[in-house]
Structure 1
Amino acid sequence: MQLTSFTDYGLRALIFLAALPAGRMTSITEVTGAYGVSRNHMVKIINQLSRAGYVAAVRGKNGGIRLGKPASEIVIGQVVRDMEPLQLVNCHSDFCHITPACRLKTALHEAVQCFLAVLDGYTLADLVTDNHPLYQLLRIEQPSFRS
Protein backbone atom coordinates (compact mmCIF):
# COMPACT_ATOMS: atom_id res chain seq x y z
CA MET A 1 0.00 0.00 0.00
CA GLN A 2 1.28 3.44 -0.84
CA LEU A 3 -0.01 6.62 0.72
CA THR A 4 -0.72 9.59 -1.49
CA SER A 5 1.81 12.42 -1.41
CA PHE A 6 -0.95 14.52 0.18
CA THR A 7 -1.08 12.23 3.22
CA ASP A 8 2.69 11.72 3.23
CA TYR A 9 3.37 15.45 3.41
CA GLY A 10 0.53 15.91 5.88
CA LEU A 11 2.25 13.48 8.24
CA ARG A 12 5.59 15.19 7.64
CA ALA A 13 4.06 18.59 8.40
CA LEU A 14 2.68 17.23 11.67
CA ILE A 15 6.07 15.76 12.56
CA PHE A 16 7.69 19.15 11.92
CA LEU A 17 5.12 20.94 14.09
CA ALA A 18 5.46 18.35 16.86
CA ALA A 19 9.25 18.76 16.86
CA LEU A 20 8.94 22.48 17.59
CA PRO A 21 8.98 23.73 21.16
CA ALA A 22 5.45 23.50 22.61
CA GLY A 23 3.22 26.33 21.40
CA ARG A 24 5.79 27.80 19.00
CA MET A 25 4.21 29.20 15.87
CA THR A 26 5.79 28.61 12.50
CA SER A 27 4.86 29.30 8.92
CA ILE A 28 3.86 27.15 6.00
CA THR A 29 6.94 28.53 4.25
CA GLU A 30 9.16 27.12 7.01
CA VAL A 31 7.49 23.70 6.71
CA THR A 32 7.82 23.67 2.92
CA GLY A 33 11.46 24.68 3.24
CA ALA A 34 12.15 21.72 5.51
CA TYR A 35 10.76 19.25 2.97
CA GLY A 36 11.17 20.97 -0.39
CA VAL A 37 7.52 20.68 -1.32
CA SER A 38 5.39 23.19 -3.21
CA ARG A 39 3.94 25.92 -0.99
CA ASN A 40 0.61 25.72 -2.82
CA HIS A 41 0.43 21.98 -2.13
CA MET A 42 1.30 22.50 1.55
CA VAL A 43 -1.36 25.23 1.91
CA LYS A 44 -4.01 22.68 0.87
CA ILE A 45 -2.57 20.07 3.24
CA ILE A 46 -2.44 22.46 6.20
CA ASN A 47 -5.98 23.58 5.43
CA GLN A 48 -7.24 19.98 5.66
CA LEU A 49 -5.19 19.30 8.81
CA SER A 50 -6.64 22.47 10.30
CA ARG A 51 -10.23 21.46 9.46
CA ALA A 52 -9.58 18.11 11.17
CA GLY A 53 -8.25 19.87 14.30
CA TYR A 54 -4.65 18.66 14.03
CA VAL A 55 -3.29 22.12 13.20
CA ALA A 56 -4.24 25.48 14.64
CA ALA A 57 -3.90 28.34 12.16
CA VAL A 58 -3.73 31.87 13.55
CA ARG A 59 -4.13 34.84 11.22
CA GLY A 60 -2.50 38.21 11.59
CA LYS A 61 0.86 39.78 12.24
CA ASN A 62 1.87 37.32 14.96
CA GLY A 63 0.03 34.43 13.35
CA GLY A 64 1.18 31.15 11.91
CA ILE A 65 0.54 27.49 12.46
CA ARG A 66 1.12 25.07 15.32
CA LEU A 67 -0.31 21.78 16.51
CA GLY A 68 -3.99 22.00 17.30
CA LYS A 69 -3.72 19.52 20.16
CA PRO A 70 -0.92 17.75 22.03
CA ALA A 71 1.17 15.36 19.95
CA SER A 72 0.36 12.60 22.41
CA GLU A 73 -3.33 12.90 21.42
CA ILE A 74 -2.75 12.69 17.66
CA VAL A 75 -3.07 9.05 16.59
CA ILE A 76 -1.31 8.35 13.29
CA GLY A 77 -3.93 5.86 12.10
CA GLN A 78 -6.67 8.44 12.53
CA VAL A 79 -4.67 11.06 10.63
CA VAL A 80 -4.32 8.61 7.74
CA ARG A 81 -8.06 7.86 7.84
CA ASP A 82 -8.84 11.59 7.78
CA MET A 83 -6.52 12.35 4.87
CA GLU A 84 -6.32 9.24 2.72
CA PRO A 85 -8.87 7.78 0.33
CA LEU A 86 -8.43 4.19 1.53
CA GLN A 87 -10.25 2.43 -1.30
CA LEU A 88 -7.50 0.27 -2.80
CA VAL A 89 -9.48 -0.95 -5.80
CA ASN A 90 -12.59 0.23 -7.61
CA CYS A 91 -15.28 -2.31 -6.76
CA HIS A 92 -18.16 -0.48 -8.38
CA SER A 93 -20.14 -2.83 -10.62
CA ASP A 94 -19.84 -0.38 -13.54
CA PHE A 95 -16.07 -0.79 -13.36
CA CYS A 96 -15.66 -4.48 -12.48
CA HIS A 97 -18.08 -7.16 -13.60
CA ILE A 98 -17.02 -9.71 -10.93
CA THR A 99 -17.89 -7.40 -8.00
CA PRO A 100 -20.91 -9.47 -6.85
CA ALA A 101 -18.75 -12.60 -6.46
CA CYS A 102 -15.40 -11.00 -5.64
CA ARG A 103 -13.60 -12.05 -2.48
CA LEU A 104 -10.59 -9.85 -3.17
CA LYS A 105 -12.39 -6.77 -1.85
CA THR A 106 -12.90 -8.54 1.50
CA ALA A 107 -9.22 -9.49 1.71
CA LEU A 108 -8.13 -5.97 0.80
CA HIS A 109 -10.50 -4.46 3.35
CA GLU A 110 -9.05 -6.74 6.02
CA ALA A 111 -5.51 -5.79 5.00
CA VAL A 112 -6.30 -2.07 5.23
CA GLN A 113 -7.82 -2.59 8.69
CA CYS A 114 -4.65 -4.38 9.84
CA PHE A 115 -2.50 -1.58 8.39
CA LEU A 116 -4.54 1.04 10.24
CA ALA A 117 -4.52 -1.00 13.46
CA VAL A 118 -0.71 -0.86 13.48
CA LEU A 119 -0.75 2.90 12.86
CA ASP A 120 -3.32 3.29 15.65
CA GLY A 121 -0.59 2.09 18.02
CA TYR A 122 1.46 5.23 17.36
CA THR A 123 0.92 8.84 18.31
CA LEU A 124 2.68 11.83 16.87
CA ALA A 125 4.60 12.10 20.15
CA ASP A 126 5.97 8.58 19.59
CA LEU A 127 7.50 9.75 16.32
CA VAL A 128 9.32 12.79 17.71
CA THR A 129 10.10 12.19 21.38
CA ASP A 130 13.83 11.61 21.93
CA ASN A 131 14.39 11.38 18.17
CA HIS A 132 17.73 13.21 18.13
CA PRO A 133 18.47 12.61 14.42
CA LEU A 134 15.09 14.10 13.46
CA TYR A 135 15.84 17.35 15.25
CA GLN A 136 19.23 17.56 13.57
CA LEU A 137 17.81 16.92 10.10
CA LEU A 138 15.04 19.47 10.57
CA ARG A 139 17.49 21.94 12.13
CA ILE A 140 15.29 22.38 15.18
CA GLU A 141 16.72 22.69 18.66
CA GLN A 142 15.52 19.70 20.62
CA PRO A 143 13.55 20.64 23.72
CA SER A 144 14.98 19.33 26.96
CA PHE A 145 11.56 18.06 28.07
CA ARG A 146 8.48 17.01 26.08
CA SER A 147 5.18 15.88 27.53
Structure 2
Amino acid sequence: MQLTSFTDYGLRALMYLAMLPPEELTSITVVTEKYGVSRHHMVKIIHRMSQVGYVEAVRGKNGGIRLGRPATSIVIGDVIRALEPLSIVNCGGDACHITPACRLKSAIADALEAFLAEMDKHTLHDMVSGNNDLHSLLIPVRPA
Protein backbone atom coordinates (compact mmCIF):
# COMPACT_ATOMS: atom_id res chain seq x y z
CA MET A 1 0.00 0.00 0.00
CA GLN A 2 1.21 3.47 -0.81
CA LEU A 3 -0.37 6.66 0.44
CA THR A 4 -1.27 9.21 -2.21
CA SER A 5 0.87 12.31 -2.44
CA PHE A 6 -2.19 14.22 -1.19
CA THR A 7 -2.11 12.35 2.14
CA ASP A 8 1.68 12.24 2.27
CA TYR A 9 2.01 16.02 1.92
CA GLY A 10 -0.98 16.56 4.20
CA LEU A 11 0.82 14.70 6.97
CA ARG A 12 4.05 16.56 6.23
CA ALA A 13 2.26 19.91 6.33
CA LEU A 14 0.73 19.01 9.70
CA MET A 15 4.14 18.05 11.03
CA TYR A 16 5.54 21.40 9.97
CA LEU A 17 2.64 23.28 11.53
CA ALA A 18 3.03 21.26 14.73
CA MET A 19 6.66 22.41 15.00
CA LEU A 20 5.58 26.07 15.15
CA PRO A 21 4.37 27.84 18.30
CA PRO A 22 0.56 27.39 18.47
CA GLU A 23 -0.21 31.08 17.96
CA GLU A 24 2.18 31.49 15.01
CA LEU A 25 0.74 31.74 11.53
CA THR A 26 2.60 30.68 8.41
CA SER A 27 1.70 30.64 4.75
CA ILE A 28 0.94 27.91 2.28
CA THR A 29 3.88 29.23 0.25
CA VAL A 30 6.27 28.55 3.14
CA VAL A 31 4.95 25.00 3.48
CA THR A 32 5.29 24.36 -0.26
CA GLU A 33 8.86 25.62 -0.20
CA LYS A 34 9.73 23.33 2.73
CA TYR A 35 8.64 20.25 0.81
CA GLY A 36 9.12 21.25 -2.82
CA VAL A 37 5.52 20.57 -3.80
CA SER A 38 3.41 22.72 -6.09
CA ARG A 39 1.49 25.52 -4.42
CA HIS A 40 -1.67 24.51 -6.29
CA HIS A 41 -1.48 20.98 -4.84
CA MET A 42 -0.82 22.28 -1.32
CA VAL A 43 -3.74 24.73 -1.54
CA LYS A 44 -6.07 21.77 -2.18
CA ILE A 45 -4.53 19.80 0.69
CA ILE A 46 -4.76 22.69 3.17
CA HIS A 47 -8.33 23.42 2.06
CA ARG A 48 -9.37 19.82 2.77
CA MET A 49 -7.58 19.79 6.13
CA SER A 50 -9.26 23.05 7.11
CA GLN A 51 -12.65 21.53 6.22
CA VAL A 52 -12.05 18.69 8.69
CA GLY A 53 -10.53 20.93 11.36
CA TYR A 54 -6.87 19.93 11.30
CA VAL A 55 -5.81 23.33 9.95
CA GLU A 56 -7.14 26.77 10.77
CA ALA A 57 -6.97 29.23 7.88
CA VAL A 58 -7.01 32.88 8.95
CA ARG A 59 -8.01 35.31 6.21
CA GLY A 60 -6.88 38.87 5.81
CA LYS A 61 -3.75 40.95 5.60
CA ASN A 62 -2.11 39.25 8.57
CA GLY A 63 -3.66 35.87 7.81
CA GLY A 64 -2.11 32.49 7.32
CA ILE A 65 -2.47 28.92 8.50
CA ARG A 66 -1.82 27.04 11.73
CA LEU A 67 -2.96 23.86 13.42
CA GLY A 68 -6.69 23.83 13.98
CA ARG A 69 -6.38 21.82 17.19
CA PRO A 70 -3.62 20.67 19.52
CA ALA A 71 -1.18 18.17 18.04
CA THR A 72 -1.96 15.83 20.94
CA SER A 73 -5.52 15.46 19.67
CA ILE A 74 -4.67 14.81 16.01
CA VAL A 75 -4.56 11.04 15.51
CA ILE A 76 -2.56 9.98 12.45
CA GLY A 77 -5.06 7.25 11.54
CA ASP A 78 -7.87 9.79 11.52
CA VAL A 79 -5.88 12.10 9.24
CA ILE A 80 -5.29 9.23 6.83
CA ARG A 81 -9.00 8.36 6.85
CA ALA A 82 -9.89 12.00 6.14
CA LEU A 83 -7.43 12.45 3.29
CA GLU A 84 -6.86 9.07 1.68
CA PRO A 85 -9.22 7.30 -0.71
CA LEU A 86 -9.03 3.97 1.11
CA SER A 87 -10.39 1.79 -1.66
CA ILE A 88 -7.34 -0.36 -2.34
CA VAL A 89 -8.94 -2.66 -4.91
CA ASN A 90 -11.94 -2.09 -7.15
CA CYS A 91 -14.32 -4.95 -6.42
CA GLY A 92 -17.58 -3.25 -7.30
CA GLY A 93 -19.81 -3.51 -10.34
CA ASP A 94 -18.32 -5.07 -13.45
CA ALA A 95 -14.73 -4.43 -12.37
CA CYS A 96 -14.06 -8.07 -11.55
CA HIS A 97 -16.05 -11.18 -12.38
CA ILE A 98 -14.65 -13.25 -9.47
CA THR A 99 -15.92 -10.87 -6.75
CA PRO A 100 -18.64 -13.27 -5.48
CA ALA A 101 -16.05 -15.96 -4.69
CA CYS A 102 -12.98 -13.84 -3.99
CA ARG A 103 -11.33 -13.98 -0.56
CA LEU A 104 -8.69 -11.42 -1.47
CA LYS A 105 -11.06 -8.51 -0.84
CA SER A 106 -11.57 -9.47 2.82
CA ALA A 107 -7.85 -10.15 3.33
CA ILE A 108 -7.03 -6.70 1.97
CA ALA A 109 -9.74 -5.15 4.15
CA ASP A 110 -8.24 -6.88 7.21
CA ALA A 111 -4.77 -5.61 6.31
CA LEU A 112 -6.08 -2.08 5.85
CA GLU A 113 -7.78 -2.23 9.25
CA ALA A 114 -4.55 -3.44 10.86
CA PHE A 115 -2.65 -0.57 9.23
CA LEU A 116 -5.18 2.01 10.41
CA ALA A 117 -5.28 0.48 13.90
CA GLU A 118 -1.50 0.95 14.11
CA MET A 119 -1.76 4.55 12.87
CA ASP A 120 -4.48 5.18 15.48
CA LYS A 121 -1.84 4.60 18.17
CA HIS A 122 0.08 7.71 17.09
CA THR A 123 -0.69 11.40 17.35
CA LEU A 124 0.83 14.30 15.50
CA HIS A 125 2.47 15.25 18.80
CA ASP A 126 4.19 11.84 18.88
CA MET A 127 5.71 12.55 15.47
CA VAL A 128 7.23 15.91 16.37
CA SER A 129 7.74 16.05 20.15
CA GLY A 130 11.42 15.92 21.04
CA ASN A 131 12.34 15.29 17.40
CA ASN A 132 15.29 17.68 17.28
CA ASP A 133 16.48 16.35 13.92
CA LEU A 134 13.12 17.14 12.33
CA HIS A 135 13.06 20.53 14.01
CA SER A 136 16.46 21.46 12.63
CA LEU A 137 15.39 20.39 9.12
CA LEU A 138 12.10 22.32 9.14
CA ILE A 139 12.64 25.32 11.39
CA PRO A 140 15.78 27.30 10.62
CA VAL A 141 17.60 28.94 13.49
CA ARG A 142 16.56 32.58 13.60
CA PRO A 143 19.38 35.06 14.03
CA ALA A 144 19.41 36.80 17.40
TM-score using structure 1 length: 0.94
Superposed counterparts of 1:55-134, under 5 Å? 55-134=55-134
- Equivalence for 1:144: none
Which whole-Å CA distance do the structure 1 matches of 2:4 and 2:127 have between them?
20
- Equivalence for 1:10: 10
Quick check: 1:6–1:45 contact (8 Å CA) kept in 2? Answer: yes
How many residue pairs match? The answer is: 141
Quick check: 1:20–1:140 contact (8 Å CA) kept in 2? Answer: no
Which whole-Å CA distance do the structure 1 matches of 2:104 and 2:37 have between them?
36
SS of match in other structure, 1:29: helix
- Equivalence for 1:30: 30
Quick check: 1:57–1:64 contact (8 Å CA) kept in 2? Answer: yes
SS of match in other structure, 1:97: coil
| Cα drift, residue 52 of structure 1 | 0.5
Q: Which residues of structure 2 form unaligned runs of 5+?
A: none
- Provide the identity percentage: 64
| Cα drift, residue 140 of structure 1 | 4.3
Amino acid at match of 1:65: I
SS of match in other structure, 1:65: strand
TM-score using structure 2 length: 0.96
